[in-house]
Amino acid sequence: MNDALHTALTNRLLASADDELILAHRNAEWTGHAPILEEDIALANIAQDELGHGTIWYGLVEALTGDDPDRLAFFRDASQFCSAQLVEQPRGDWAFTMLRQYLFDAYELTLLARLAGSAYQPAADAAVRMRNEEIYHYRHSSVWVRRLALGTEESHRRMQRALNELWPLTGQLFSAQPGDEILMAAGYWPDFDEMKQSWMSVVMPFLEQGELVVSDLVDGPVDRSEHSGHLNGLLADMQMVARADREAVW
């Protein structure tokens, strides 16, 4: 693998790892606070699964660069993270959390389905491993988005408000990074334009069935180096214990 390909692959793997870690943390914030016990357990499960996916992605980064996954998670600052703003947003209400999860699950399923055929075998193996779990996540989040969107006047209003806030942030998931063309040429990573079309063909009819209206996609962040102001606070919270004793062994 030449240097350019190595760098591009590392950046993509890190972006996926960071998305999973940050989303897992946001979902874990619901533990003990979800609207009903069964959902508290379900979302904690999902958070744990996403954290597991993050661990897999960081492990692939480590295989390429030698970087310790714990160091990557707990000792980088916001400017060094590659997460998308969609996953950085505070958890909001239950409608916001469920819709964010739905939009991300649909994205992750789209990605994993294609990565399963990647010419980079470790990524293909990882995708196959994660995909079954993600099918269940998608089922769970779509069940809730559908019920809340078509539920009461209040639940519909909250779901529409969540969509208005989240929709402009979805473009960043599919935006090109430097080096993506090298990855695609090598057959290592799928084409983001095609992925976005496929994602839209799943998400749009689903949202329409819920009588939710999608705003025009404008003014969202594009580059993954553009973070929301919320990432700093999340990292301060998440990294506090690890940074309190940098040499501790867990």
Partner 1 sequence: MDTQWPRWEVFKQDRPDKPYEAVGTVHAPDAEVALLNARDVFVRRPECHSLWVTPEAAVVRLTAEELAAQPAWLDESPGNAAADEIYHLFCRNNFRRSMVAVTYVGQVVAASPADAMRQAVQRQHADDTVLWWVVADSALTRSNDDDIASMFEPALEKTYRDQSTYRGRIFEGRRRGGTVKEVPGS
Which residue in 143, 176, 217, 240 binds partner 1 (CB under 8 A)? Answer: 143
Other Cβ atoms within 10 Å of 231 Cβ, number:
20
Show the site string, 47-86: x = touches partner 1 by CB under 8 A, - = not: --x--x----------------------------------
The piece of 12-20, 127-135, 158-166, 169-177 that touches partner 1 (CB under 8 A) is 127-135
Choose among 1, 5, 2, 49: nearest CA to 23.
49
Burial 94-110 (b: 16+ CB within 10 A, else e): bbbbbbbbbbbbbbbbb
Per CB under 8 A, 38 contacts partner 1: yes
CB 141 within 8 A of CB 101: yes
Quick check: 135 binds partner 1 (CB under 8 A)? yes
C-alpha closest to that of 56 among 133, 139, 138: 133
Binding to partner 1 by CB under 8 A, coded x per residue (else -) over 146-165, reads: -x------------------
Q: Which residues bind partner 1 (CB under 8 A)?
A: 36-39, 41-42, 45, 49, 52, 132-133, 135-136, 139-140, 143, 147, 249-250
